[in-house]
Structure 1
Amino acid sequence: MSNLETALKQYFGYETFRPGQKEIITAILEDQEDVLAVMPTGGGKSLCYQLPALLKPGLAVVVSPLIALMQDQVESLENNGIPATFLNSSLTAEEARSRRIAILQGKIKLLYLAPEKLANAGAKKFLQSVQHKQGLSLFAIDEAHCISEWGHDFRPEYRQLQALRSQFPQVPMIALTATATERVRNDIVNQLKLKPPKIQITSFNRPNLYYEVQPKQRQHYNQLFKFISRQNGSGIIYCLSRRRVEEIAFRLKKDGIAALPYHAGMSDGNRSDYQNRFLRDDVQVMVATIAFGMGIDKPDIRFVVHYDLPRNLENYYQEAGRAGRDNEPAHCLLLFGRKDIHTIEYLIQQKEDEKSQRLARQQMRKMIDYAEGTDCRRTIQLSYFGEHFSGNCGNCDNCLNPKPIEDWTVEAQKFLSCIARCRERFGMTHIINILRGSKNKKIEQNGHHLLSTYGIGKDQSVDAWKNLARSLLHQGLMTETSDGYRVLRLNQRSWEILRQKRTVYVAVPQKSSQKQHRYQHLDIETQQLLVQLRKTRKQLADAQFTAPYMIFPDATLREMAKFKPKTLDQLEHFSGVTEHKLHQYGKAFISDIQAFLQEKKLPTPVPSNTKMKTLSLIQQGLSIEEIAKERGLRTTTIINHIAELIEMNQPIELEKFVPKDEQKIIWETINTVGDTSLKLIKETLEEDYPYQAIKLVRAWWRREQNQASSI
C-alpha cells in the first residue's frame, strides 16, 4: 500500500481512491499545480483537497458558499479526528477570536470561509498573518461554477476570489464543481487566474442511480404516495412552487409519512431547524423548492422525486444527483405532465431580458426532450455535458423496459436532407412541417413547399418525427445551435448517413407493462441485524447532536450486517472505519452483532483479516489478478482465499469466476468421483478445465453438502 493509500485509510477509512482522486491529489502534492476538477456529485470532490491539506504543512483555506455546508464538512472532519474549523456570521465575537488564535498557533489544518468573507479587508490581513506564521498550503474553491455567469448558479461575490492569485501567487489553487460545460470551465480558469491548471474531468455518469420518468397521472399525489410508501431511507421531493411544497408536505404528514417543507419563504430559523432534522433522520422526507440542496452533504439519500418538471437539464442532474452520494443504489423519479410546461413558460416570461428568455426556453425544450426521450437516460444526460455514452446502461427505465429498436436510416436521410435543403437555418418543428406537407404560411413564404422533401414524410406522425429528431441529437448524429433559437445543423456523422455510410437505429415507443427496478436484496437475518445497527447509530448520533451518517455510512453498516465481525480487529478492516471511529464507536456495534448472533444462535463467520481484505476487494468488482496485484500476493493464494470464503458461506458470486455451464459439468463430476482429489476430478472431466475453476466449484459443493447434513 503506497503512502497515499495509507493516509487515505488512516484519515478517512478507505483503502482505494475513487476515479480521478489520486491524480488530483498527486498534482497538488508533488507538482504544486493548480487544478480544475469536474467531478459528479458523490464522486468524492472534498477528499481531493482535504487529504492534501493534511499532508502539506500550513493551513488550507476552503471557500464554500453556504454556512450549512461549512458546518457539515467541519463536523464530518472532526468526527474523523481531523482539526478543522470555519469562520462565519453564525459565531459570536469570542468564538471567532478563539478560532483565529487556534489557527495562528497551528492547531487547525482546514479553514472554511464564505466568498463574501474573503473580500473583507480584515480577512485578507488575517490570512497574510497565517501565511507568515504557519504558511498556507492551498486554496480550494468549492462549487466553482458559481464564478461563471454561464453557470447554472452564478454568484457575483465569487468574482472577488480572483484577488487571491495576486495576494498569494505561490499558493496552489484547486477549483471544484460537479457540473460545468466547456464554456463554464474556460470561464472558471480565466476568472480565478489559474496557472495552466491540470484539468481533471471525471465521467458525469452516476451508475448507482436509477433514472425513471413516469407520466403524471390525474391523481398525481396518490401516485407520489404509493412510490414513497415503497421506499426505504431518506428522500427529497422537488416542487416548482412554495404553495405546492406546503401542500405535499402537509398531505404526506397526514398520511403517516414524516415529512417537512423547505422553501425560501420560510424564516432562517425554520429552514435551519428542518434541515437539521432531515440530516439527523428525524424525518424521512424533505419536500422542497430548488432553495434546498447545495448545502446538503447527506450521503445516504435513497430517492429524489421531481414532482414537477425542472427548468433545465443541468438543474435536474444536480438535484437528482443528491441521491446516492454514498454510491449505494438510489432512485431518481421524474413525474412529467404537459401542464408543467405552462408553469415554466410563465416563469420564463418574468425574465426582463429577451435573450435570457430565449436561452431559458431552449433549456426547457432540452428538458422536455429528456422526459419524452426513448433513448437510454444516461445517453441523453451525458451528451448534454459533451460526454459520449454508448447506451444500454441497464439502470434506467428505458433500458430496463426497452422500446423496440428499428432501422430508421431512410427516415433519417429524409430528415437530414430536408435540413440541408433549408440551408441549416430552421428548427425541428419547421423541418417536420415540411416533411409532412403542412400548409403553414412560414413554409410558403420561404418557398419550402417547392422543395423535393416537401410532403415525403406524411406516412409518419409528428410524434414519430420528433422521436427521430431527438434520437439523432442524443446520438450525436446532428447538432443544434446554443443561442436559444435551436437551429438544426449537420455534422460529419450526418453526412455519413446521407452518403449511406452509417445506419440509424431508433428506439420506438410502445405501450408495455413497466418493469420494476430490482435492487440487491439482503437475506432476512442480515436485514434484521441492519435495522438494529441503524438504531444504535441513531442513538449515538442523537447523543452527540450529529447526523447518523457521520458515525458510519450506510455502506459500512451493510458490510457489518453481511459479514458480522465479532472483534474490533475484524471491524478495523471495513471500508469507512478509521482508527478514530473504531475506538469511539466500534464496541457499540460489535456488542450488537454478538448479541444478535447469540440470540439467533447463528454460526459465526470469522474469516481471518487477510481473507476479509480479499473479500472486500471482491465486493468492489476486482478480478483475481487485480486483487493479487493490489495485495502483493500470488494468484494461487487469492484463489485459496476465495475457496475458503465460499466454504464459510460468505457472500461470493461464483459466476464472477466460473461460468454457469462449466459449474454444472464440474459439479456433476464431483458428484461422481467425490471431492478428495482435485487431480482425479480434472482427469475425469472430458474437457481441460483449469484447477482454479475446479477448486472454487468444489468449495461450493462442500458448502452445500455441509448445509444439507446439518438440516
Structure 2
Amino acid sequence: VYCWSRKRVEGFAEYLKKNGIKAVSYHAGLTPAQRDKHQDMFLKDDVDVVVATIAFGMGINKSNVRYIIHADMPKTTEGFYQEIGRAGRDGLDSDCIMFYSWADVINYDFFLKDMEDEDVKEEFRQKTKDMFRMAEKNTCRHREVIRYFGENMNNCGVSCDKCRGIEAEQLIENNEEAVKSVLNTDKTGSPRDMERVSGGKENFDAELFGELKALRRKMAQEQGLPPYIIFSDKTLKLIAGTMPQNDEEFLEINGVGRAKLEKYGKVFMGKIKQVYGLDPKRKAGKDDCVIPLLNTERLEALAEKYASIPNLKHNTDMIPEYINKEREKYSRAYEAWSAPEDNDFIQAYERTDNIKELCRIFQRNPGAIKARIKKLELE
C-alpha cells in the first residue's frame, strides 16, 4: 500500500494492525535496521502488507504480490507505472487499485513551494496534473498508461474497470476485503474515486491453496528461506488445481523439477491427502484432476450463494431487452464466469450432470451451462 507521507504510512499501518492484518511500515524516517527488518518480513511472508512511501520497492523482487493499492494518487505517471509493475511478477492475476482526488494534486503542489527552480517546479506540477487527468479519463487504463510513454495498443477489453464497464461501488463489493481498510481511512471520510486493473481467470481449490501456503510458510521459516523459493504462488495454485497423487503427476506441474519433487513432493502430496482423504474422487478427463465430491447440502449452499450475487452488469436501458428477459429466469445470465465459480462448477458437476439442476444452482441458462461443460472439458 502506497501513501504520500510518513504520517499517512504509520497511521495506515497501525489501522491495519488494529483490524487483524499483519502489516509493517516502510519509509525514510525509519532506521536502516528497521527498514531491513520490515523488508525481510515482507519477503518471507511473515507479514501480509507493507505500507510505504515511494522509498520502498526499488530492487525488490517479490514474485507473489497480489495487490498494489495506492491510498493516495501517485505524484507522476512514471511513478505509478513503476509501482504497479511490482504486482504479479509470477504471472498470476493481480489487482492494482488507486484512490485519488483533486486534493492530492493540491497537497503535492504545497510541497513544491520550497523548490527554487521554477522550471523544475512547473514540470512536477504538470506531471501531477497529467496523472490526475489520466485517472479521470473514461478510456482503457492500460492504453492510457502506454500512450503516456508514446506507444499505442488496443483496449485491453477485460482487464480494467473502464473496459469492463464497472463502477467503483461494484468493484468495492467484489473486492471488499481488499479495499475496506482503504475506504475507511480516507482523509475526507468519504469514498474516493478508484481504478482497478486485473487479469483473467484461474481454476484451483481455494481451501487447499490456503493449506498449501501455510505449509510452504512453515517450511520456509524452518529453512530460513523466502516462501517463493520453495514454490511460487503460481506453482502452488497449479498444485491446488490438479491435486497430484504421485511423483509422475507432481513432476508434470510447471515449476516442479526432480530436485523439488524429492525435497518437497512427499510433504505437499501428504497435505493434499490430509485435506481430502486417502482416496479422493477423481475427475475423469484430460488432466485427471482430483475433485472432492459435493454432497446435497453443499449443492444447496451453492444455489443460495449464486442466487444472492448481484449482477456486475446492472439492468439498464443500455442492456439489450433479450438479456433482461433472460435474467427474469436466470439472474446471472450473460455474466462473465469467474475462477471461483469455475471451481464450484467443476465440483458441482461431479455431483450432478443434470443441466436443469446446474441451471438452478448457478442461475445460468442451459446454453451457458452446456458451453461451460465443453469449455472446462468435463464431458
State if a TM-score over 0.5 links the two structures.
yes
Q: Deviations over 1:491-522 (max 9, x none)?
A: xxxxxxxxxxxxxxxxxxxxxxx999797465
AA partner of residue 280 (structure 2): L
**Alpha-carbon shift at residue 322 of structure 1 (Å):** 1.1
AA partner of residue 112 (structure 2): I
The DSSP-based 3-state class of the residue aligned with 1:323 is: coil
Q: Deviations over 1:248-282 (max 9, x none)?
A: 11111112211111101101111111111111111
CA contact (8 A) 1:565 1:606 kept: no
Aligned to 1:252: 16
Q: For residues 341 and 576 of structure 1, what CA distance do their matches in structure 2 show?
A: 44
The 1:537/1:515 distance shift into structure 2, 3 A limit, reads: closer
CA contact (8 A) 2:102 2:132 kept: no
Structure having the higher Rg? 1
Q: For residues 604 and 350 of structure 1, what CA distance do their matches in structure 2 show?
A: 68
Q: Could you tell me which of 230, 234, 241 is aligned with 1:555?
A: 234
Q: Could you tell me which of 250, 254, 264 is aligned with 1:571?
A: 250
**Structure 1 residues 179-190: aligned runs within 5 Å:** none
Q: For residues 24 and 198 of structure 2, what CA distance do their matches in structure 1 show?
A: 27
**Structure 1 residues 66-145: aligned runs within 5 Å:** none
CA contact (8 A) 1:308 1:336 kept: yes
Q: For residues 72 and 225 of structure 2, what CA distance do their matches in structure 1 show?
A: 32
The 1:570/1:392 distance shift into structure 2, 3 A limit, reads: closer
CA contact (8 A) 1:240 1:289 kept: yes
Q: For residues 249 and 107 of structure 2, what CA distance do their matches in structure 1 show?
A: 56
* TM-score scaled by length of structure 2: 0.65
Q: Could you tell me which of 214, 220, 225 is aligned with 1:535?
A: 214
- Runs of at least 5 residues in structure 2 that lack an aligned partner in the other structure: 168-194, 289-345, 351-365
Within the alignment, does 1:391 sit opposite 2:145 as a pair?
Answer: no
Q: Note the aligned Cα RMSD (angstroms).
A: 3.2
CA contact (8 A) 1:566 1:606 kept: no
Q: Could you tell me which of 346, 365, 370 is aligned with 2:134?
A: 370
CA contact (8 A) 2:13 2:51 kept: yes
CA contact (8 A) 1:564 1:604 kept: no
**Structure 1 residues 350-365: aligned runs within 5 Å:** 350-365=114-129
**Alpha-carbon shift at residue 537 of structure 1 (Å):** 0.6
* TM-score scaled by length of structure 1: 0.36
The DSSP-based 3-state class of the residue aligned with 1:287 is: strand
Aligned to 1:316: 80
CA contact (8 A) 2:2 2:53 kept: yes
Q: For residues 374 and 547 of structure 1, what CA distance do their matches in structure 2 show?
A: 40
Q: Deviations over 1:567-617 (max 9, x none)?
A: 122211211113332222222112222333326x5213587xxx659xxxx
Q: Deviations over 1:59-86 (max 9, x none)?
A: xxxxxxxxxxxxxxxxxxxxxxxxxxxx
Aligned to 1:486: none
Q: Deviations over 1:455-500 (max 9, x none)?
A: xxxxxxxxxxxxxxxxxxxxxxxxxxxxxxxxxxxxxxxxxxxxxx
Aligned to 1:233: none
Q: For residues 378 and 559 of structure 1, what CA distance do their matches in structure 2 show?
A: 27
Q: For residues 120 and 196 of structure 2, what CA distance do their matches in structure 1 show?
A: 40
The 1:598/1:581 distance shift into structure 2, 3 A limit, reads: same
Within the alignment, does 1:346 sit opposite 2:110 as a pair?
Answer: yes
Aligned to 1:604: 282
**Alpha-carbon shift at residue 365 of structure 1 (Å):** 1.7
The DSSP-based 3-state class of the residue aligned with 1:261 is: strand
The 1:544/1:283 distance shift into structure 2, 3 A limit, reads: same
Identity %: 35
AA partner of residue 44 (structure 2): R
Q: For residues 382 and 516 of structure 1, what CA distance do their matches in structure 2 show?
A: 14
AA partner of residue 304 (structure 1): I
The 1:320/1:271 distance shift into structure 2, 3 A limit, reads: same
CA contact (8 A) 2:159 2:197 kept: no
**Alpha-carbon shift at residue 344 of structure 1 (Å):** 1.0
- Runs of at least 5 residues in structure 1 that lack an aligned partner in the other structure: 1-236, 404-513, 614-645, 651-662, 668-692, 705-711
Q: Deviations over 1:136-189 (max 9, x none)?
A: xxxxxxxxxxxxxxxxxxxxxxxxxxxxxxxxxxxxxxxxxxxxxxxxxxxxxx
**Alpha-carbon shift at residue 340 of structure 1 (Å):** 1.1
**Structure 1 residues 134-533: aligned runs within 5 Å:** 237-401=1-165, 520=201, 522=203, 526-533=205-212
CA contact (8 A) 1:311 1:344 kept: yes
**Alpha-carbon shift at residue 335 of structure 1 (Å):** 0.7
**Alpha-carbon shift at residue 241 of structure 1 (Å):** 0.6
The DSSP-based 3-state class of the residue aligned with 1:299 is: coil
Q: Deviations over 1:497-555 (max 9, x none)?
A: xxxxxxxxxxxxxxxxx9997974657xx222212211111111111111111111111
Q: Deviations over 1:5-47 (max 9, x none)?
A: xxxxxxxxxxxxxxxxxxxxxxxxxxxxxxxxxxxxxxxxxxx
Aligned to 1:545: 224
AA partner of residue 554 (structure 1): D
The 1:320/1:515 distance shift into structure 2, 3 A limit, reads: closer
AA partner of residue 551 (structure 1): I
The DSSP-based 3-state class of the residue aligned with 1:294 is: coil
CA contact (8 A) 1:573 1:612 kept: no
Give the number of aligned pairs.
275
AA partner of residue 573 (structure 1): E
CA contact (8 A) 1:239 1:287 kept: yes
The 1:382/1:271 distance shift into structure 2, 3 A limit, reads: same
The DSSP-based 3-state class of the residue aligned with 1:348 is: coil
Within the alignment, does 1:594 sit opposite 2:257 as a pair?
Answer: no
The DSSP-based 3-state class of the residue aligned with 2:224 is: coil
Q: Deviations over 1:661-704 (max 9, x none)?
A: xx97xx8xxxxxxxxxxxxxxxxxxxxxxxxx9xx96x96xx66
The DSSP-based 3-state class of the residue aligned with 1:238 is: coil
The 1:392/1:296 distance shift into structure 2, 3 A limit, reads: closer
Q: For residues 515 and 340 of structure 1, what CA distance do their matches in structure 2 show?
A: 18
The 1:515/1:263 distance shift into structure 2, 3 A limit, reads: closer
Q: For residues 51 and 277 of structure 2, what CA distance do their matches in structure 1 show?
A: 42
Flag as ranges the 4+ runs of structure 1 deviating above 6 A: 514-519
